Every structure is written in C-alpha cells, then in structure tokens.
Amino acid sequence: MTRTVLLALETSTEFCSVALLLADSISAIARSAAAPQYASGDTRVWFRHEATSAVSSTRLLPAVRELFDEASLALADCAAIAFGAGPGSFTGLRTATGVAQGFAFGLNVPVVPVSTLLACAESARLHDASIPPRVLAVLDARMDEVYWADYAFDATTGDWRTLHSAALDAPHALPLPDAPFALAGNAAAAFGDRLPALATAARVDRDALQHALPVALIGLRALRAGRTVAPEHAAPEYARDKVAQTTAERMQAREEEALR
C-alpha cells in the first residue's frame, strides 16, 4: 500500500503549530509507539499546538523532531511540506515559509502553501461536518480591520472552492454571501455586532482558527491533486502591505467609526 507522509507548519499567530500526517500505511501505523492525536479513515496526524508568543521559531524545529520520534518516522519519508502561508503575523509567516523551504530544498520535495483562512474553514468542518457548505472565514487583522475569504465545500470532490480569495477590509464593509453560510474565525469575538456577518450567519464557530492539523489535511488533498509549488516559489500571503497605522490614520478611523 502506498504511503504518504506530509509535514505541516503553522506559525501565523502566537501559537507554534506543527503536524505530521501519515496516510495509506497500515504497517507504519502498527509500528508506531504513540497513539495518533487525530485519525480518520486511512489518515493519521500527530501534532503540537503550543502558545509560544513571539518565540515560535525557537520551538518549531524541536516540535518537528518530537513528532517524527512519536510516529516512528524519518524526515526523509516526507513527500511534501505544507505551511500556513497567511495572511497573519508577518514574522510568523516568514518563519513558516523559510523553514518549509529549508526542509523542501534539503529533501528535494515540493511545498504546499495553505491559506490560513482556508485552514479556518477546514477547522470549522472538522468541528461540525453538518455546517453549511458555504463558509466565510474572517480573522481579526488588528488595526480595526479583518482578513476574510469566502469558500464553498464541494461534497462531490471532497475539497474546497475559493469564491473570494483573501482580502482585507473594515469589519462593517465585509460583503455577505448570497447563500446560507457558516462564519469561522476569531473576528466574531473581536468585533461582535460591528461584524454584520455575525447576525446573518447560519452557524458561528469562533474556535475555527489557524492550526497545523487542518493545514496538513488540506495539504494532503493538494498534494494528491498536484497543487504544489517548487520550494523557491513558496511565499507568504500578506494581504496587507504595512503593519501599523499612522497617527492621522488612527484618528480618522476613530472619527469614521463615531459617525456610523
């Protein structure tokens, strides 16, 4: 039976999140000394998800080593490296991209960039498979803005379609889907009633956040479908071209909010 091993990295938030996925390998599973932390069908995933604040880079490589030891696998077994490409923390995105590239170059394998917003949508389906197929993923982008993307899950293909790719907007300017939808991500908690989608969503999952487990599962489907890139073409998806507002911009934003 064909075996697929995939490593997934996610450091776009204050968490260091790493997952090791093993699919289609009965013999390798039987040799494993540790129980997988996620299992479905022929797929098992071991993961670490730890609050590390600004020091994710120091925890990332040790966490990778721990997972390979637990799964009784070797880094050389990897067929691809998936990583959370953003949007998210600029420093965290560069960390995940750089480490993914380093592993991929050394192993001569492709990489799979995964949108952090798509990871939120996948996470929502992991929490509850009965949610509407349409998922609006919305994350707090700070600076009184949100990152968002609109997805639809296709039950026929077992994969996602992107209806609107990652964008950056003010919470009140977020366009609403034209069909029943689930709202995924932390923006609902961060902005409350200032987020119109909160009132119209059929389901709200505030805990559907960036995590290496959904990145790994998305990465496996992408690998099987041939949606990979060469390591040198891996790049973060920032969705924003600056990290701070000027004083004038902050004052203008407050004035506009007071008038609404």
Question: How many structural domains does the chain have?
Answer: 2
Go through the chain and tell me how many residues it has: 260
Q: Within this chain, do residues 105 and 214 fall inside the same structural domain, yes or no?
A: yes
| CATH number of the domain where residue 88 is located | 3.30.420.40
The burial of 153, by beta-carbon neighbours within 10 Å (0-12 exposed, 13-18 middle, 19 or more buried), is given as buried
Q: At what angle do helices 56-71 and 90-107 cross, to 10 degrees?
A: 40
> Which of 164, 188, 205 finishes a domain?
205
Among 207, 202, 54, CA closest to 139: 207
Q: Quick one: pLDDT at residue 69?
A: 96
pLDDT one-digit tens code per residue, 198-211? 999 999 999 999 99
Kindly state whether residues 169 and 124 are assigned to the same domain. Answer: yes
Q: State whether 46 and 99 are in the same domain.
A: yes
pLDDT tens by residue, 218-230: 999 999 999 999 9
Shared domain for 132 and 146, answered yes or no, is: yes
Q: Are residues 110 and 20 in the same domain?
A: yes
Residues 122-174: tens digit of each pLDDT? 999 999 999 999 999 999 999 999 999 999 999 999 999 999 999 999 999 99
Domain span at residue 139 reads 117-205
